[in-house]
Chains A and B, each alone.
Chain A
């Protein structure tokens, strides 16, 4: 009795000591990072920030950035009414109306009530831009009219209503009043309540935050697309003319009432732009974090810490804590500034954790600052697009929930987030960052930190550090699931835009490839580490079967997917069909065991190749992927 109490007490003492060590290292990390900033750097930084403020101010004053200034040339006489349109449109440049110079110097010519267009793709694009410009010009003019009912004789109120999911079945029993519960009465009405008011031009009710200023001119899709793209593509997005911040746009982001030109499809543009603000600090914070990890490894600086009586995990935790705290703090500030609730912070925190985890692994693997830069840039690009792109489809399809950013968009729009949705969105991020930290800590030791091994070798080392006995092969397979999940869902998001006939087969192959690599790469590592002396075919088959079993068990977790109804979508079904979610009980048992057999078989094929060298391993992956893809295809086509 007392012995057990003693043990508990000593465990608490040890935990406390560990926490103290973590706190000490965290304090040390903070003080050292602050010490880096000498007077010259601080002055330069201040200068840069001042300049940034000045540029931002100038950009706002100048009315935004036009990247496409004067790209198209329109020949128009100075006394033509169209001249004003061309002059006020940045993308168009006014030229003299010389029809004979069409195609050489001008794309479109407006002369004597005719519009002449050159024969080229550029001229067609110019005509399209010109047409939009004239339309916008007309609208602006009409807004100044005093007789409002003559200028805007049509007032539209857009209403979203749910229908019975299966229209065909409902059609069979039409006539009686059974469908009332899905009637328009349940339609999600615009909460802002401006519906049907007499004023057709003003469509931006004041939202929760006063800073937004819905321009009311309707989201021009062309600018919208370019704006979003610039925002995702590079961090260098100036104030691109944001059409109507969604904070004021009501429930669906798009405007729902006004003149026909004012209504816009449900696209959470404003919420997305605001959500992007959460990513800016992350990209800045992971740079110094990666530096501090790599710094430990330069000139054996980390050796002192390594020989101190603290575990590598405590060192890593201590070094990571200040950065994680900074990110969460900044996220909370951003949320406060743009009107997000704690849900936003809770949704962004796992993204921040994964950023840091990936950067930590990058810092452990990179051989030089240069390599680290490329690694961090890849992490930024990959994670940003992974989080950002699905969120664009927030109001379109439940698949958008693969990104925690979708939760933020929901939060900013005022639509609620359920616990299941939160778990589904952030689960892979939490597990993924835990696994990455575990892998990184595994190589936080002298022989890996201070040597110049190539990244793939270090990766194999990291896997090997987690391989202890045959059972761990299965465990690693199961732990690979979140990454498989992320990779597959990214594939879904990428292939989403293709037609279904093309995207489904491509997706099946991609899914098979991702899963096969995830199941066998640690087996390959094992044959270069703990199992190096057991490279027989028997060991290969055993390890392959174990890995397949682990993966099979882990894959059952994807049944969580059903919680949010993701398999309702054709693409979602294709991605997760091999998880054995049965359509009917009869095939259920077969489907339960079939994937197990599949995973064991294909991984055994790959691990047989892994016993030799890299070339045979890669060669063996091909039949493994082929078998897996064929199986997936069979399942989808029989159930589909």
Chain B
């Protein structure tokens, strides 16, 4: 006869398959990932003038500092300036749609006061505002250069603009999307163990299992194993998918080891909560708060899980990274072994 713990683990996975919940879980994760990506792509393209090719904003410039401002505006690639003699003529042009925005620049008290009028009604508003901001920031730099003598320190030169190969989504893909996809399965696994244990206790089927020649430790083992194996498997799937999509993930095995170790830790937490507080309502609440606290708390530490996964994925780890991974593994295994020792003392199912 096979190891009873493996049998229990297999049974856990079999119910997942028969209820098709695993499909639902994958769909949820895909939905979250897709939606957050949509969101970021949408927001970035709303705010990034470079993402909209061939669209040039025309801006009417007027006021007594108009000439200086026009010179700067003309240097910008995505924005064209038209000078107007008076504010009234500029605003008429704005109303008639000849210009997308009006800049009224006046010199007063050693400063330039710019009133920017932008259209209120459209998706383009954000784009126009961003373009104006860039142009005005350049203008500010030149004006500041004229007053450099009055400043106690000179501002640092900006590094060059990134080249054409740069993407605004790079940071998001590795520091948000990848950790999200890696840790969602972990949280789901923990929640699953809470459900599994509380349901056995609730339905009284744990009593039946105890009649069989398996110990409580074996039962908890089987459930923990099944849930803990599932998380790295899903994370592996997401990593492969990201890789396929052109987001190369470095050190995949190390990442999977970290995810596995954390899955073991979180699943152990879930099992402990479920054993201590056998009503599902209370247990799920405690588990959710516990995981939020643990996870939120660790993000303050250097080398927290999210940061570790991100840095492993972009290869920003030093030669010491095996030690970090080993640390996570030790943490997960340690918690699991503690639970195993504690289970007989807790008297599961003796209610």
A binding-site residues for B, Cβ under 8 Å: 33, 36-38, 40-41, 44-45, 48-49, 51-52, 55-56, 58-59, 62, 65-73, 81-82, 85, 91, 93, 108, 110, 115, 117, 121-122, 124-125, 127-131, 134-135, 137-138, 141-142, 145-147, 149-165, 167-168, 170-171, 174, 179, 182-184, 187-188, 196, 198, 200, 221-222, 224-226, 228-230, 232-236, 238, 254, 259-261, 263-267, 284, 287-288, 291-292, 295, 298-299, 367-375, 377-378, 381-382, 385, 389, 392, 396-397, 494, 496-497
Contact = CB atoms under 8 A, between A and B. Distances in A.
A369 B12 CA distance: 13
A170 B97 contact: yes
B140 A154 contact: yes
The prevalent SS among residues of B at the interface is helix
B43 A130 contact: no
A230 B176 contact: yes
Q: Considering residues B48, B122, B204, B306, which has the most beta carbons from chain A within 10 angstroms of its beta carbon?
A: B306
A127 B137 contact: no
B77 interface: no
Given A36-B281, A49-B289, A372-B195, A71 B159 contact: no
B46 interface: yes
A122 B311 CA distance: 12
Contact of A370 (B148, B187, B196, B310): B196
Contacts of A374: 21, 24-25, 28, 188
Nearest to B193: A370
Given A36-B281, A396-B125, A370 B156 contact: no
B202 A298 contact: yes
B150 A150 contact: yes
Contacts of B143: 153-154
Q: Considering residues A37, A56, A266, A291, which has the most beta carbons from chain B within 10 angstroms of its beta carbon?
A: A291
A291 B194 CA distance: 13
24 contacts: A44-B277, A58-B297, A67-B179, A91-B171, A115-B159, A122-B314, A124-B165, A125-B167, A125-B171, A131-B158, A131-B161, A142-B144, A158-B129, A160-B120, A160-B125, A184-B91, A222-B168, A226-B176, A228-B39, A233-B35, A263-B133, A265-B126, A392-B43, A497-B38
Interface stretch (B104-112, B211-219, B335-343): B104-112
Q: Considering residues A37, A62, A125, which has the most beta carbons from chain B within 10 angstroms of its beta carbon?
A: A125
B95 A170 contact: yes
A40 B275 CA distance: 11
Nearest to A165: B121
A290 to B, nearest CB: 9
Given A70-B307, A167-B97, 16 more contacts: A33-B281, A45-B286, A68-B171, A71-B171, A108-B159, A138-B155, A150-B151, A158-B118, A159-B116, A163-B119, A171-B97, A196-B115, A225-B172, A229-B36, A287-B284, A368-B19
Nearest to B16: A370
Given A162-B119, A170-B95, A232 B166 contact: no
Contacts of A238: 296, 299-300
Contact of B120 (A130, A162, A174, A234): A162
A67 B116 contact: no
Interface string B288-330: 1111110111011010001100110011100000000000000
Nearest to A261: B137
B152 interface: yes
A456 to B, nearest CB: 10
The prevalent SS among residues of A at the interface is helix
B265 to A, nearest CB: 15
Given A128-B162, A153-B144, A187 B117 contact: yes
Given A59-B296, A156-B136, A497-B45, A71 B314 contact: yes
A124 B166 contact: yes
Given A59-B300, A171-B98, A396-B46, A153 B140 contact: yes
A124 B163 contact: yes
Given A234-B184, A370-B19, A266 B31 contact: no
Contact of A153 (B46, B147, B204, B306): B147
Given A68-B307, A71-B316, A149-B111, A48 B293 contact: yes
Interface in B193-223: 195-196, 198-199, 202-204
B333 interface: no
B135 to A, nearest CB: 8
B32 interface: yes
Contacts of B95: 163-164, 170, 179, 182-183
A198 B139 CA distance: 18
A179 B96 contact: yes
Given A141-B153, A156-B114, A229-B40, A368 B293 contact: no
A369 to B, nearest CB: 4
User: Shortest 8 CB-CB distances between A and B: which pairs?
Assistant: A167-B97, A124-B166, A497-B42, A260-B136, A369-B195, A125-B170, A150-B150, A265-B126
Contacts of B170: 121-122, 124-125
A397 B123 contact: yes
A260 B113 contact: no
A378 B199 contact: no
Given A225-B44, A370-B21, A372-B195, A67 B310 contact: yes
B10 interface: no
Q: How big is chain B's contact interface, by range?
A: 35 or more
Contact of B112 (A82, A125, A154, A196): A154
Interface of B: 15-16, 19, 21, 24-25, 27-28, 31-32, 35-36, 38-48, 91-92, 94-98, 109-123, 125-127, 129-130, 132-133, 136-137, 139-140, 143-144, 146-148, 150-153, 155-163, 165-168, 170-172, 174-176, 179-180, 184, 187-188, 191-192, 195-196, 198-199, 202-204, 273, 276-277, 279-282, 284-286, 288-293, 295-297, 299-300, 302, 306-307, 310-311, 314-316
Contact of B96 (A72, A142, A167): A167
A373 B284 contact: yes
Given A115-B160, A266-B126, A378 B19 contact: no
A375 to B, nearest CB: 8
A381 B31 contact: yes
Given A234-B180, A236-B295, A288-B285, A224 B96 contact: no
Nearest to A240: B299
A260 B98 CA distance: 24
Contacts of A163: 94-95, 97, 119-121
Contacts of A138: 155-156, 158
A65 B299 contact: yes
Given A44-B276, A263-B133, A287-B281, A161 B155 contact: no
A235 B35 contact: no
Contact of A134 (B39, B92, B159): B159
A607 B184 CA distance: 40
A187 B120 contact: yes
Contacts of B289: 45, 48-49, 52
Contacts of A198: 109
A44 B21 contact: no
Nearest to A107: B316
A439 to B, nearest CB: 19
Contacts of B120: 160-163, 187-188
Nearest to B112: A154
Contacts of A33: 281
Given A142-B155, A159-B117, A367-B19, A221 B162 contact: no
Contacts of B116: 156-159, 263
Given A156-B136, A182-B95, A196-B113, A48 B171 contact: no
Contact of B39 (A36, A108, A389): A389
B49 to A, nearest CB: 11
A48 B288 CA distance: 10
A329 B299 CA distance: 32
B300 A58 contact: yes
A152 B153 CA distance: 14
A485 B121 CA distance: 25
A381 B96 contact: no
